[in-house]
Chains A and B, each alone.
Chain A
Amino acid sequence: MQPNNQWQRVSPIATVYFFVKSLPHLMNFWPALVPLLAGGEQVRRMAFTYGIPAALLLLVVGVFLQYWFFSFKVEEKRLTLRSGVLNRKRLTLDFERVQQADIVHPFYFRPFGLATLGFESAGSAQQEVDVPGLSVAAAESLRRLVLEQAATAELPADDASATTEADFSLRLGPAEILRYGLMHNTLLYLAPLAAPLGQYIGPLLESSVASIEHSQAYALISWVSENLAISATLVLGLLAVLAGTTLLFGLSVVLALVRYWDYQLTRVGDSFQYRAGLTTIRTRGFKHYKLQKVTITQGLIARLLRRHSMVISKAGSFGAMQAQNNQRFEVPVLDIINLLLLRGELSLPSASWQWVSRSYWLFPVMFMAFLLGLSVLFGCFLLGTAAVWGLLLLPLIYLYFKRRWYCLGYYRDSDWLALRTGFIGFTERWLPTGKLQKIRVVATPISRCFGLVHLQVWSADGVMTIPCLPIALANQMRDSLLTDVVNYRRAWL
């Protein structure tokens, strides 16, 4: 799609997009249901015969009008959108400001060869712009135009982006995506919500024991319970937990497969791009110079599977955490070889992690020991000597904080500032030092007594704290980081 200064309308199929978009707004009309409940039979009958068809008609007309009044114009350096039926809106997006350009292929566009092109721009007011119902070719060419413009704004035009030959590519098979589903089981956090159901499950189990007794399966259960000398109810309970967990993991895997099916990451020149999805195929890209933070994580399950995940963030919107998560450039699963390759692509060095001061575990352990001592003493008066057993918690406290300290490390070289935290797994956060926004050195009353301070750095995507550093070291780091920032005169946002 070439710049032509003409107002253009999108494909009529885009009405489906507007329909889907307007569905959430229907929720705003819930007060209209009140008279239905309060009113008599007459009102309800009227509503069903006239109300519902009228509402549907309104919806259809509304969606059509939205489509009719939506138009866009591609100019050399900007994209202008007109939208809105009653409140006309005109939005201008400078290509130079575009942070990210996604092509989304929703399932309802795919039979027609259409796609939605989504832009996200930086600036004091973060904006997201969607152009639905473009033909795939038009979307691709407009996206390329925008990204090239965004690049040429600061960099000499490189011919590499014109060619489609990838300098680096990474492809994830279904087995890898399946691992992602196991690693990032967000549904598992819902499990505690199911706990109140336990009181209903108990009696249910009791009654099912009775019915199962007559079935074939009972032979197995009774065999297990007899051989392991546990009650049949417990066996059933364990089975239920097992089934529940399997279900959660199964769902998580399915969600992962839907989201990251056929994940392909490519780098051409300094622009990275990934393409993934089963029902909705998403193409998302970013330019290397816009990188604000790289996060590498490995949780407990990921550690068992020997996999990592990476998130690359650009200037973020902090108000909408959820939106931001959806906007991130994710590499869901990386085995060690791919991780090393990708780290090389992003020019992340291999870090030699520095420990922070030992006070980082000493303080909390002493404080907790003091609290524990007090409560044991108090417990002795109330419960007798049995309370002394409470002191057994002490080694656990010690191990916890010592381990936390052991896993915490920071690293600084000429281009990066990194922090690694963890307990069983780990999280590494890498910030390009030239792009730091604000640096703060904080001394609390206690830490000051021991000559320690915390160093906080703000990137354009969140804050990172390196705790318990010697004052002189922190000050020196602050000065050198600031030097990096003032000397970084290239485009960074």
Chain B
Amino acid sequence: MPQADTVVTDDTLPPLLAEPWQPIERAYCSVLRIVVLIYLTIITSVALVVMWFADPVILPVVTTVLGGVLLLGLFLLLLWAPRRVKHTQYLLREQDVHVRVGFWWHATTSAANNRVQHTEVTQGPLERLYGLSKLVIYTAGGNQSDVKIPGLPTATAHRLKNYLTEQVVAEELLDAAE
């Protein structure tokens, strides 16, 4: 059974760091911000209702918690969301696919194309507003074994999905040929 591959001639695949990583759309920042705003609105309204009806004794506690949440929200809106988008990059190569994310917790996730079980393009209402989609690539590793690329222009997401699907089909044909 031939193990050699015509594409990979080196001992290892080329190192990832030097590769041309693709950034995701800046507009995804707005999606993240709106999500944060929605959560903030919900929490604030709940807190206001509590403050309105609750015992005055616990008022300072609620105010402190709400203040903390609003500060956190401000941080997420102004610092986290733009940096998250800036630090989310993806890389599709001939044989493998990679995503790196993270503001503090950096994570680079890689999967080989011949382990892809199926792919999926999802689009939430907010993403639709900005013409964005998320590409989800599933492998057979069970829970959390999917690779997610958010904030892609919808056309790009579908193009990448088709590319990966073709790759998977080509792999299967190769399997059958052997």
Residues of chain A within 8 A (CB-CB) of B147 are 438
Which stretch in A70-78, A350-358, A455-463 binds the other chain? A455-463
Whether the Cβ atoms of B16 and A486 lie closer than 8 Å is no
Q: B145 on the interface (CB 8 Å rule)?
A: yes
Residues of chain A within 8 A (CB-CB) of B13 are 479, 482-483, 486
Mask of A449-493 contacts with B, CB within 8 angstroms, 1/0: 000010000111111000000000001101110110111111101
CA distance A38 to B178 in the complex (A): 70
Whether the Cβ atoms of B140 and A493 lie closer than 8 Å is yes
Whether the Cβ atoms of B115 and A436 lie closer than 8 Å is yes
In the complex, what's the smallest C-beta–C-beta distance from B116 to chain A, in angstroms?
9
Q: How many residues of A contact B (CB 8 A)?
A: 40
In the complex, what's the smallest C-beta–C-beta distance from B138 to chain A, in angstroms?
8
Given A315-B140, A437-B139, A440-B110, A479 and B16 touching (CB < 8 A)?
A: yes
Whether the Cβ atoms of B112 and A124 lie closer than 8 Å is no
Q: A132 on the interface (CB 8 Å rule)?
A: no
CA distance A453 to B102 in the complex (A): 13
Q: A444 on the interface (CB 8 Å rule)?
A: yes
B121-162 contacts to A, CB under 8 A, are 138-145, 147
Q: B175 on the interface (CB 8 Å rule)?
A: yes
Q: Which of B15, B115, B171 contacts A438 (CB 8 A)?
A: B115
Whether the Cβ atoms of B108 and A489 lie closer than 8 Å is no
Q: B109 on the interface (CB 8 Å rule)?
A: yes
Q: Which of B117, B141, B174 contacts A124 (CB 8 A)?
A: B117
Residues of chain A within 8 A (CB-CB) of B178 are 489-490
Given A462-B142, A489-B175, A442 and B12 touching (CB < 8 A)?
A: no
Given A315-B140, A479-B13, A486-B95, A440 and B108 touching (CB < 8 A)?
A: yes
| Number of CB contacts from chain A to chain B under 8 A | 117
Q: A439 on the interface (CB 8 Å rule)?
A: yes
Given A458-B145, A460-B141, A483-B8, A439 and B16 touching (CB < 8 A)?
A: no
Q: A318 on the interface (CB 8 Å rule)?
A: yes
Whether the Cβ atoms of A460 and B118 lie closer than 8 Å is no
Q: Which of B8, B109, B138, B143 contacts A487 (CB 8 A)?
A: B8
Whether the Cβ atoms of A444 and B175 lie closer than 8 Å is no
CA distance A438 to B113 in the complex (A): 10
In the complex, what's the smallest C-beta–C-beta distance from B147 to chain A, in angstroms?
7
CA distance A480 to B8 in the complex (A): 12
Q: A203 on the interface (CB 8 Å rule)?
A: no
CA distance A272 to B104 in the complex (A): 47
Given A438-B139, A479-B15, A482-B112, A489 and B3 touching (CB < 8 A)?
A: yes
Q: Which of B106, B111, B141 contacts A463 (CB 8 A)?
A: B141
In the complex, what's the smallest C-beta–C-beta distance from B167 to chain A, in angstroms?
11
In the complex, what's the smallest C-beta–C-beta distance from A470 to chain B, in angstroms?
14
Q: A316 on the interface (CB 8 Å rule)?
A: yes
Q: A443 on the interface (CB 8 Å rule)?
A: yes
B interface majority secondary structure? loop
Given A441-B107, A443-B106, A489 and B12 touching (CB < 8 A)?
A: no
Residues of chain B within 8 A (CB-CB) of A440 are 107-110
Q: A303 on the interface (CB 8 Å rule)?
A: no
Q: Which of A441, A462, A476, A483 contacts B108 (CB 8 A)?
A: A441
Q: Which of A444, A453, A476, A485 contacts B112 (CB 8 A)?
A: A485
Q: How many residues of B contact A (CB 8 A)?
A: 42
Whether the Cβ atoms of B106 and A448 lie closer than 8 Å is yes
Whether the Cβ atoms of A438 and B106 lie closer than 8 Å is no
Q: Which of A154, A317, A487 contacts B3 (CB 8 A)?
A: A487
Residues of chain A within 8 A (CB-CB) of B5 are 486-487, 489
CA distance A444 to B15 in the complex (A): 21
Name the CB-closest residue of A to B115. A437
Q: A445 on the interface (CB 8 Å rule)?
A: yes
Given A475-B15, A483-B11, A442 and B107 touching (CB < 8 A)?
A: yes
CA distance A463 to B142 in the complex (A): 9
In the complex, what's the smallest C-beta–C-beta distance from B163 to chain A, in angstroms?
16
Residues of chain B within 8 A (CB-CB) of A461 are 142
Whether the Cβ atoms of A442 and B106 lie closer than 8 Å is yes
Q: B105 on the interface (CB 8 Å rule)?
A: yes
Residues of chain B within 8 A (CB-CB) of A493 are 140
CA distance A131 to B114 in the complex (A): 34
Residues of chain B within 8 A (CB-CB) of A441 are 107-108
CA distance A375 to B138 in the complex (A): 47
Mask of B163-178 contacts with A, CB within 8 angstroms, 1/0: 0000000010011001
Residues of chain A within 8 A (CB-CB) of B144 are 458, 463
In the complex, what's the smallest C-beta–C-beta distance from A463 to chain B, in angstroms?
7
Given A316-B142, A479-B12, A489 and B96 touching (CB < 8 A)?
A: no
Mask of A246-261 contacts with B, CB within 8 angstroms, 1/0: 0000000000000000
Given A445-B104, A480-B12, A486 and B114 touching (CB < 8 A)?
A: yes
B75-117 contacts to A, CB under 8 A, are 95-96, 102, 104-115, 117
Q: List 15 A-B contacts (CB under 8 A).
A: A122-B140, A438-B141, A441-B108, A442-B107, A458-B139, A458-B142, A458-B145, A459-B141, A475-B17, A482-B95, A482-B110, A483-B11, A489-B171, A490-B1, A491-B175
Report, nearest first, the 4 A-B pairs whose CB atoms are least far apart: A318-B142, A458-B141, A437-B141, A437-B139
